[in-house]
Amino acid sequence: MKKLILSFVLVAGFAHAGFKLPTSAFKSSEIAEAEAKAKSTSKPITFLISDIDSTCPLCDSASETILKELKVKTVVVYARKRDDIPEKARALLAGKDTGRFIPYAVVMDSGYEKVLGIVQYETIKKEGPKAFREVEAAIRDMKKPIGGGSGSSLDAFIPKPQP
């Protein structure tokens, strides 16, 4: 009997119950708030497609890596499946390869006009944080001022004073 109880305690101690969503992230049911924050902060939106209740440590680890790499640079929205994200965002994903497994992350501009990048589970597993290079470059390029100015992206449209 002691062995049975000890076994149960050990198994319960090692049981894995998913990953934790940071307080800065939104759930797909809070998309209006996420869109407003993305627009007000001029950040792109990341859709993290995963299973927060997963018992798979590989899935959870990859989800945590996505959150670690993108939660500061973007507004993160968690969704269990692609159908939980806005129709306009889903339309942009048509024909795009999101990989065979969850999790994956899709980074878009806040107006759902352009996919900045997709980070697949398979790439995260193979490359770790290096899997985010291309999407991070796209985010940086998105934030660069138009016309090479040093201020906001509207600098190119503001007339310069004449001497």
Cα 50 from Cα 54, distance rounded (Å) = 8
Residue 129 lies in a domain: yes
pLDDT at residue 18, rounded to an integer: 87
SS3 for 15? coil
**Is residue 28 assigned to a domain?**
yes
> In the prediction, which pLDDT does 8 show?
45
Total domain count, the chain? 1
| Long-range contacts formed by 145-149: CB under 8 A, 24+ apart | none
Mean pLDDT per 10-residue segment, the chain (163 residues): 47 62 96 97 97 95 97 97 96 94 97 96 96 96 68 44 53
**Length of the chain, please?**
163
Domain containing 44 equals 17-144
Residue among 90, 82, 85, 47 at smallest CA distance from 66: 47
Which uninterrupted H or E stretch holds 93? Answer: helix 87-93
CA-based end-to-end distance of the chain: 91
The reported pLDDT for the residue numbered 7 is: 47
Task: Tell me the CATH number at 131.
Answer: 3.40.30.10
Assess if residue 90 is contained within a domain.
yes
What's the burial of 131, exposed, middle or buried (CB within 10 Å: 0-12/13-18/19+)?
A: buried
Residues whose CB falls within 8 Å of the CB of residue 61, separated by 6 or more in sequence, listed in order: none
Residue 10 forms part of a structural domain = no
Residue 62 CA to residue 123 CA, distance in Å, equals: 10
Report which of 78, 54, 57 is spatially closest to residue 67, judged by C-alpha positions: 78
User: Is 160 part of a structural domain of the chain?
Assistant: no
Residue 46 included in any domain: yes
In a domain, 9, yes or no: no
Domain contains 43: yes
